Homo-oligomer: A and B are copies of this chain.
Amino acid sequence: MKRRQFIKTAGIGAAGVAIAAPAIAQSAPEIKWRLTSSFPKSLDTLYGTAETFAKAVAEATDNKFQIQCFAAGEVVPALQALDAVQNNTVECCHTALYYFWGKDPTFAFGTTVPFGMNARQQDAWFYHGGGNDLINEFLKDYNAVAFPGGNTGTQMGGWFRKEIKSPKDLDGLKMRVGGFAGAVLTKLGVVPQLIAAGDIYPALEKGTIDAAEWVGPYDDEKLGFNKVAPYYYFPGWWEGSAALHFLFNQQKLAELPKTYQSVVRTAAAMANKDMQAKYDAVNPAALKRLVAAGAQLKPFTQDTMEACYKAANEVYTETSAKNEKFKKMHDAYMAFRNDQYLWWQVAEYNYDNFMIRARARG
């Protein structure tokens, strides 16, 4: 069976891969897998989503299919999760595909890109807009198959030691920033730094960096950034949403009984929904605590947003010109995004607009 065919049929309603006669031992075998997470256990929304997934898989199979989860660094470091799956060091991982944009910037579309889709739109693209098929076609070269596995929603723009009053204030700024955003911020004079979660606080405290973004109120509060950088900017235009994925070694996934393949896919979709719900539930209280502790909420100015938007479009044009895979994914993604916002601006946005103003009046 060709790889493309496998991807298209691996899920719900799949014919599945060739499996021998349906003896009980074969249709429900005992299997133990390892999953490496790109996140530390302390970040429970991120790391916890892998545990939620693994628990659902174990329960659905009467504990016959067990996936043991390891935090970043326990088996391999956070940013080697893809390599570990590709080489079958582990059978699967839970990660953000944009961590691997250094291998190929096309990876970024799996998580998010600057001025990309919001969380619901990104899932619409994955599940019913052909997005996840495109991601998996691209991942063939990495011996991996991906299912969406969580989202953060729109992230914050991060913590700054000084105010950003215009795009010029970004010039020369040393900033911790994840994913493909670094390529855009470079155009505005930012010196992007990729620093793991645990090392950001001391770097910001010492002034080795001037700014740092991570996720949003709940996670940022845990990392303590408000104590060393008072200005908390929004929105994180490079992460209008951020999708995680469960990645599977393609041979290992294909060898599973079709029952287990379906269990894995369904559990991933459940975990995808669950992570967003958890972030949405815990962020408001964290935001209140941060503001009470002195964090100064600031929107990026309109001219700063415009300058970043222009820089992002330049990067897309330049990268598309030299990378065919990137161009194909970019064009599909942006066409879908533009249609999504055509509809979003009507009912959804106007409803939120009214509710926000009604709430503000009390």
List residues of A whose CB falls within 8 A of some B CB. 12-14, 24, 27-28, 52, 55-56, 59-62, 115, 118-121, 123-129, 153-157, 216-217, 234-237, 240, 258-259, 262-263, 266-267, 269-270, 272-274, 276-278, 280-285, 287-288, 297, 299, 305, 309, 338-356, 358-360
Contacts and interface: CB of A to CB of B under 8 A. Distances in A.
A177 to B, nearest CB: 16
23 contacts: A28-B62, A56-B262, A59-B262, A59-B266, A120-B276, A120-B280, A154-B348, A155-B347, A235-B346, A235-B347, A235-B348, A237-B351, A240-B351, A263-B263, A266-B267, A269-B273, A280-B343, A284-B342, A309-B354, A342-B359, A345-B359, A349-B356, A352-B352
A294 to B, nearest CB: 17
A207 B119 CA distance: 41
A354 B235 contact: yes
Closest 7 A/B residue pairs (Cβ): A128-B281, A124-B280, A59-B262, A235-B351, A269-B270, A284-B339, A127-B277
Contacts of A118: 348, 351-352, 355
A341 B354 contact: no
A55 to B, nearest CB: 5
Given A269-B270, A270-B270, A356 B343 contact: no
Contacts of A283: 343
Contact of A235 (B55, B119, B240, B350): B350
A276 to B, nearest CB: 6
A273 B123 contact: yes
A296 to B, nearest CB: 13
